[in-house]
Amino acid sequence: MLRMQRISKSFGSVHANRAIDFDVPAGRIVGLLGENGSGKTTLMNILFGIVGPDAGLIEFKGRALRGHSPRDAIAAGIGMIHQHFTLVPAMTVTENVMLGWEATGWWLRPTAIAQRIRDASSAYHLGLDPDARVELLSLGTQQRVEIVKAALRGVELLVLDEPTSSLSPPEVAGLLGILRRLRDEGRSVIFISHKLGEVLEICDEVVVLRDGQVVGRVETTGVDRHELARLMVGRDVSSPIDRVTHSTGSERLVVAHLLARDALGIERLRDLSFSVRAGEVLALVGVDGNGQAELARVIVGIDRPTSGSVFVDGADVTAGGVAARRAAGLAHVPADRATTGLVTDMTIAENLALRSFDEPPLRHGPWLDAAAMTELARERIAEFEIRAPGPTSIARALSGGNQQKIVLARELAGRPSVLVAEQPTRGLDPAATRFVIDQVLALRAAGGAVLYITTELEEALLVADRIGVLYQGRLVGLLRRERVDLARLGLMMAGALEEPSDAAALYGVPTP
């Protein structure tokens, strides 16, 4: 049905796609497997017409596709569900389905469309309410709106980009069921993912991409997981990480009975209490959107909780802001380094001074000491091996890994008592990921306490001493790493299981 031949695309010096051949027969689910940065999304964006290839041909159902836009792709019968949903939050399901659908004509008939949505919803077991506003729906339901959009438009090839990244395990099962049904109707599905297990479960065949090239193509029946992982990563996956088991010290970070509401009055954190000790890494896992971002903001001081307290090294910092908590020894690596952790248009030196510019040695009376800033920057660049021309380079020019190094250099300098790290390895290549994890473990060895918020279960298992699960703003489980069982973790993340906390694992919380 689909034939892509020798597709190539470069963005500046980055070769996203190199002469890729990719075919999809009718009535098959084909997986596109690869790590972050392997070129999967670029390839699909080319297919869908969001980006044009530098070279190569695309043929769909016998007709060539070139110079096309998403509108043409949709008209030809290709549908794409992106990682970040392309729905309009303020509009209803019906309006979103009608959007851009030429078959509805210029005069809209919402009632007729709503009925068609209901019919399709029951046919595919989607459970959709056409009049609901999208922003009030769960991420899993939103995804199903996207699917009904595609189905009603009669797509014959459906592309899903990392569809399960925001779903709980039961929702994933539901999605896979829907995809199987579509395949049995004779449509085809391209399933893009970096998660081995799912790809093996749902796909009929898998194409593996690495560094912009196709490195393997296999039928999924009978394939070896390790073999696939090796193809994806290109080297032996399981390199051991040195984790010295040692005893832990006093509680350095304590959060007690945190309750937080967002701007719309919805509760995001519900009676959350836990502590992190010196020399310990506590990893909080959970599907994105269950309170991780809100928790980090409350702990770090960007937001005030509705009630509850935060203690750093025994001192109550709840009333203080970001600067006060920093002074108390709290460091923060935010989830989004490009927009939050760094000012990409400023120099490395300025970025390194971002949190400490208002105090000596960088400030003398009313003036900033530019020389001191530069000197400090030089030291840090050397210490953290940041690859850059010099302290006055603009941060934007650096690679993702080096940018994260700047953030780490800034936060870890001065030996913080507590580090709150949000998705610190997101978007980084394996070497940079390794660097980050090493730094975290080094802080742990030096007696610091680390709160490690991540969506990557495997990574959490690597670094953590204890693992907690966040579900809808509550801590539904808090276990020592040795007692962890992936199946139980998955159920907790889906809200289907709530552990009475392992008494020895949950250390005392100070009485309010």
Q: Does 442 bind other proteins (CB under 8 A)?
A: no
Nearer to other proteins, 101 or 507 (CB): 101
Nearer to other proteins, 251 or 350 (CB): 350
Q: How far is it, in rounded angstroms, from Cα 137 to Cα 91?
A: 11
Q: Does 368 bind other proteins (CB under 8 A)?
A: yes
Count residues binding other proteins (CB under 8 A).
Answer: 62
Angle between helices 400-412 and 430-445 (to 10 degrees): 10
Report helix, strand or coil for 176: helix
41 to each of 37, 109, 159, 184, 222, how far by Cα in Å?
A: 8, 35, 10, 26, 27
- How many residues would you count in the chain? 512
Q: Does 57 bind other proteins (CB under 8 A)?
A: no
Q: How far is it, in rounded angstroms, from Cα 332 to Cα 410?
A: 10
Site for other proteins in 63-122 (CB under 8 A): 67, 69-71, 74-75, 80, 82, 85-91, 95-96, 98-102, 104-108, 110
DSSP string, 153-199: TT-SEEEEESTTTT--HHHHHHHHHHHHHHHHTT-EEEEEES-HHHH
Question: Minimum distance from CB of 414 to other proteins (Å)?
Answer: 15
Backbone angles phi, psi at 159, to 5 degrees: -110, 125
Query: 130, 163, 341, 477: which one contacts other proteins (CB under 8 A)?
Result: 341
Q: Does 336 bind other proteins (CB under 8 A)?
A: yes
Span interacting with other proteins, options 238-246, 271-279, 365-373, 383-391, rule CB under 8 A: 365-373
Nearer to other proteins, 162 or 350 (CB): 350
Question: Minimum distance from CB of 431 to other proteins (Å)?
Answer: 26
Q: Does 200 bind other proteins (CB under 8 A)?
A: no
Query: Which residue is associated with the tokens 């960007």?
Result: 302
∠ CA(10), CA(12), CA(18), 5° rounding?
20
Nearer to other proteins, 91 or 496 (CB): 91
Q: How far is it, in rounded angstroms, from Cα 422 to Cα 432?
A: 15
Per the CB < 8 A criterion, the answer to whether 411 and 332 are in contact is: yes
**Residue 422 corresponds to which tokens in the numbers above?**
């949000």
Span interacting with other proteins, options 57-65, 195-203, 276-284, 352-360, rule CB under 8 A: 352-360
Query: Which residue is associated with the tokens 């199987």?
Result: 180
The residues that touch other proteins, with contacts defined as CB under 8 A, are: 50-52, 67, 69-71, 74-75, 80, 82, 85-91, 95-96, 98-102, 104-108, 110, 149, 300-302, 321-323, 326, 332, 334, 336, 339-346, 350, 353-355, 357-358, 363, 366-368, 370, 396
